[in-house]
Structure 1
Amino acid sequence: MKAINITFTFQDGQPDQTHVAAEGESVLDVALNNNIQLQHNCGGVCGCSTCHVYIEQGENDLPEISDAEEDFIDRAENPRINSRLACQCVVQGGTSDLVVRIPPQHFLGH
């Protein structure tokens, strides 16, 4: 299996973190496995927009955006042209490393 690096950058000023992702893992999986807090209210099944991220680099090596994902991104806070849902960004063994910007998270009850 091919592995790539995912560099997570944070809009709230946290230092960048780079982690290895195996083919078949989602950006959400890699974040959660490395103690990066990323909301995922639906459990990572493309049922909400809480794992909304910006793909800064490597977007061509991710699966094409689905209609369902696009609908949920439209409901996300501050969507951009490079917006994706982390649960739907599955590493496919491409050649490019990913750079993923995590927007500020709004955790209820925290």
Structure 2
Amino acid sequence: MNIYKVKINFEEKGHETIELPIAEGESVLDVCLDNGIDLQHNCGGVCGCSTCHVYVNNGEDAIQEISDKEEDFIDRAVNPRINSRLGCQCVIIDGNIEVTIPDQSQFLGH
């Protein structure tokens, strides 16, 4: 099994950029949860909502291609962009990735 790197940037103030190991077959959401990074996942990480929405800055080729189902949920995300993906669907197949986690404070109290 290959180990790569995931670089995580945060839109929310007061969070430093962090670089963590990510194994082939692991998702960005998995790594966040394993490392105490607060990335919402209301559906439990099964591509059933849009709360684990991230922006992929680099490494699109290192993750699985986007599915129609994922695209539908991204359309419902807050501030979707051309490089939007769901953290639960950013599963590493080969290489490093860099993502930005949108400000999660908007989810507080929901």
Partners of 1:77 and 1:17 in 2: CA distance: 23
Q: Paired residue for 2:109?
A: 109
Deviation at 1:12, TM superposition (A): 1.2
Query: How far apart are the structure 1 equivalents of 2:92 and 2:63?
Result: 6
2:58 matched residue in structure 1: 57
Query: For residue 99 of structure 2, what is the aligned residue in structure 1?
Result: 100
Alpha-carbon displacement from aligned partner over 1:24-81 (angstroms, at most 9, x marks no partner): 1110000110100000000000000000000000011111100000000000011001
Aligned match of 2:8? 8
* Deviation, structure 1 residue 109: 2.2
Relative to the length of structure 1, the TM-score reads: 0.94
Which residue in the other structure is 2:27 paired with?
Answer: 26
User: How big is the shift at 1:107?
Assistant: 2.8
Q: TM-score, normalised by structure 2?
A: 0.94
CA distance in structure 2 between the partners assigned to 1:108 and 1:27 by the alignment: 21
SS in 2 for 1:99: strand
The secondary structure found in structure 2 opposite 1:75 is: coil
Identity, % of aligned pairs? Answer: 60
Instruction: Give, in angstroms, the shift of residue 108 of structure 1.
Output: 3.3
1:28-43 matches, within 5 Å, as 28-43=29-44
Name the SS of the counterpart of 1:80 in structure 2: coil
Runs of 4+ in 1 over 6 A off after TM superposition: none
Mapped to 1, the partners of 2:50 and 2:107 lie a distance apart of: 13
Unaligned runs of 5+ in 1: none
Aligned Cα root-mean-square deviation (Å)? 1.1
Partner of 1:66: 67
Give the number of equivalent residue pairs: 108
Q: Gapped runs of 5+ residues in structure 2?
A: none
